[in-house]
Amino acid sequence: MHLRPDHAVHDLPTLHAFIRQHPLGLLTTSLPSTDFPTLQCTHIPWVLDPPEGFADADLNSNSNSKPEKGKLRGHIARTNPHTRAMVQAVTGTGRDAGSDFVTADASGTQGLTLPGEVLIVFTSPIDHYISPHFYTETKNLNGKVAPTWNYAAVQVYGRMVVYHDVKDKKTGRFLMDQLGDLARLGEVGVMGYTSREGWNDGTDVERGDQGRSPWEIADAPREYIETLKKGIVGMEVEITRVEGRFKVSQEKRGMDREGVVGGLEAIGSARASEMARFVRSGRVV
């Protein structure tokens, strides 16, 4: 990612907050294979786990000096060709398995580490074209203005553990936790449905904004969930590097920024108004 100093974001709590607000990330892998394309990508919603023993507020702004930056957990359909390429890579089927294929993590959960790095890109759904007409100060001063596009994105790099063995009980528990946590992310984090007494107790539910209680994985028949688990593969990515670019006209002169805000608000669309808010505050989270 090109990180112009005006737009670069390295603060780990801010990057974590962005990922939580926009959890649908584009997973990209590069896996040489005679059976599948080398480059493949899939959109996947991710659950973010912060570094063990740390809350985001405990981490200083020099995030990339920290040895731990958190983990991302997700799952992918077993029938997806991308999945088949990853399983082939970690099992060594179709070619000789090399030293990159190692059993994974310190907790003892069975999984295999994908060779090389993976890349996951998270983007804000709010982006907008910025017209040179908005830059009133610079346009009147010297006319040196050009169109651009405002947006926000975070790129995560890391090593991925793939949980594909449907017969392994620890893999089953990983998938069950992943499905449950993803449901909570959607029901509580996105929809705003809440429970006063905890997530899984099923009692004393406080209604959310939509007048509904949060759905839990336990609400579905156990047999149905077990069938679903057979059709997915779990993934856990240990973050080794994370960086963001929040481009909301920070580098512009004061009057130019005001012109951008006014120009966007005059458009009248929800998307333009939200970008105007980003430009006014100079931040997107």
**Percentage with pLDDT > 70 across the chain:** 82
Residues 203, 248: Cα–Cα separation, whole Å: 44
Confidence of residue 55 (pLDDT cuts 50, 70, 90): low
pLDDT reading at 102 higher than 50: no
pLDDT at residue 126, as a whole number: 97
| DSSP H/E element including 174 | helix 169-184
Nearest to 176 by CA among 225, 137, 215: 225
Strands 194-195 and 118-123: unpaired
Model confidence at 122, in pLDDT bands (50, 70, 90)?
Answer: very high
- Cβ neighbours of residue 43 closer than 8 Å, sequence gap 6 or more: 24, 25, 26, 27
What is 54-107 written as a DSSP string? --GGGS-S-GGGSS---EEEEEEETTSHHHHHHHHHHHTTTS---TT--B--TT
pLDDT in tens, 185-227: 999 999 988 764 444 444 344 444 555 789 999 999 999 999 9
- In degrees, to the nearest 5, what angle opens at C-alpha 66 toward C-alphas 63 and 67? 145
Residue 84's pLDDT is 94
Task: Tell me the one-letter amino acid at 119.
Answer: L
Q: Which domains does the chain have, with CATH numbers?
A: 8-166+231-251 (2.30.110.10)
Average confidence (pLDDT) over 38-55: 88
pLDDT of residue 144: 81
What's the whole-number mean pLDDT along residues 51-80?
71
